[in-house]
Structures are given as structure tokens and as C-alpha cells.
Homo-oligomer: A and B are copies of this chain.
């Protein structure tokens, strides 16, 4: 899909500024991002003024904007990595694309710059096929089709709500994996997009994603915060939790989730060894959280993404709440608070 086919009024690109100088980052992205509106969320802990090069159509939101919009009791929802969710909340566009500020455009196997916007939007605008796996990957990609045996009644597919892109160079590993393989780099460019089948759970990374805000915006909720959560991806699992929540919602509402293209090139940031201590908390937690999300069956009465998130919050509270660690109760409360914000401040 070329950019010519994308209406730039449909797209907001959400960027979190963890560092004040966005010059190099945005100059790298200029050929791809410049036609689109950028929502830049300044890390609430960042004191220095942002440096943003000329030639972009953008709006910066700071801690005071967040406080003003959501009130001081809710503003802690938007700390650290989760400040990006404020961008999701105040956007009024159909599609959101979000890329971490330690990523630059990748090149494909032919050496061509990957247009993340075009690929994410193509993923979202073409149907997804979660109810039967197509062995030749996304049948709506150029040159592909449904293979023999694919039921014709399922070939129209369903709307795709979430597009999960991947990472070259520094892949999205946890701190222990990164520590064990310090020199490891991901160089495998897999030229494919696929629909993750209904019922299958997956770890959605927040590094490089896009979604249809009108369909599933409320399901991309800031929820689970680790006590020792830091400012490196491997110190958080907020996006993994949010992604499982979104996947459960998509499965329930018969919406699709795609994974694969587009890639971004991810640069190194942070020291995995320093992060190891914090990370273990997130690692142990997944052993409990994955079976929970795998077991969730939402009631028929949950007909919107908002309904679904509230139902999931209820289940989290019932199944994981009241434990020694109040983290799960806080996550459930955050999900409910988020849905309320979506209805009052957002476009819900």
C-alpha cells in the first residue's frame, strides 16, 4: 500500500519522548512520518524542554496537560511507558501507530526503507482471518491467496483491529535472555504478516504497534505496573498485559490481530544486567497471568471493547485480587478507571 492510499486525517502517530532531543529520531523518520500528525507525549519525569526538528505536524502533551485532562487522581495511570496511553486517549483519529523512540526505520531484504505507516495501515485495512489458519500467511498480501481447503465462507475474514510489528537488530527479549546472549542481534527479516488465530494468546510488544482506535481503543489500556518498573522495555510488562487484554477482546468481538511486518530497527538502550533484578518480578508474574487470560470467556452481554475491559477487570479482581501483592487489584482498578476516562475524556 502506498501512502497515496492513506488518508492522513485517519492516522495519529503516538511517540513517547523519554529523552529531550528528538532531532535525530525524527529526522530518521522524516520520509515516513512527515505527512502525518504526531502526538508526542513527554515523559512526565522529563524536565528539559523537548527539541523537535522543523517540518512536522505535531502536538506535544506534557504532565500538566495530562493532569488537566484526567485529573490528579488518574494521572498516575500515565507514568513511565504508560504515558503513551494518554495519546491513545486524546486522539480522535481512526488509526493509531506507536513506535518507541529508540527505533528507526528498518530496511527490507532488498535494502528498501520499510514504510511502517503504509504496512500497518494495510494490515488494518485488509481483513484478518482468525478462524482458520492460512498456511501461505496473510491471503490479502500482494501475491498471496487462500490455499486449497480454506472454507469459502471464511474467506471474507473479519476486521483487523490490531497490527503488531517486529524488530530488527535488538529484538524484544527479556533481560535474562539479553544478558545470556549479549551479542545476539535479530537479523532475520521474515517477509510475512499473519493473523494470530482466535483463542491463541501472544505477547504483544508495545515497541511497534498500530490499532483501529474506533474498534478496540478502549482495550489498549494502561493497567499493570510493576513495583520496580523502569524506563526500559525489559523492565516492564505493561504492554504484554495490555496486549493479552486486547487479544481476548478481539477474540470475543470477532476481530483480528495480525503479527509480522512492518519491522523497525531497534537500537540498544540500557544495561540488561542492571535491569535483571527488576525483571524477575515480571517473569514470575507471567506464569500466573497467561493461564488466566487463556481461560477468560467473556459473557455475550459484553458487546463493546469498553464492556469487555470492565469484564476482564472483574475477572482479574476475582482470580488474582486480594493477594499479598496489590499489583493485580491496582491493575483491575486502572482498567475500570481507563474505561471511565475513555467515556468522559476520550471519544467513547
Instruction: Tell me the A residues contacting B by CB distance below 8 Å.
Output: 109, 131-137, 141, 143-154, 164, 166, 171-174, 177, 181, 184, 186-192, 194, 196-205, 233-234, 237, 240, 243, 259, 282-283, 286-287, 290, 294
- Report the minimal beta-carbon distance from A287 to chain B, rounded to whole angstroms: 5
Copies in the complex: 2
Interface residue SS majority, chain A: loop
Q: Is the CB of A240 within 8 A of B148?
A: yes
Q: Is the CB of A132 within 8 A of B199?
A: no
Q: Is the CB of A146 within 8 A of B177?
A: yes
Residue from the list B132, B136, B197, B282 in contact with A166, Cβ < 8 A: B136
Q: Is the CB of B240 within 8 A of A200?
A: no
Q: How far is the CA of A189 from the CA of B135 in the complex (A)?
A: 13
Residue from the list B146, B149, B188, B290 in contact with A151, Cβ < 8 A: B290
A-B pairs with beta carbons under 8 Å apart, 10 shown: A109-B109, A136-B166, A147-B173, A148-B205, A150-B174, A151-B290, A154-B290, A188-B192, A190-B192, A199-B199
Q: Is the CB of A145 within 8 A of B233?
A: no
Q: How far is the CA of A282 from the CA of B259 in the complex (A)?
A: 31
Residue from the list B150, B191, B201, B287 in contact with A191, Cβ < 8 A: B191
User: With A145-B181, A196-B133 known to touch, is A150 a contact of B190 (CB < 8 Å)?
Assistant: no
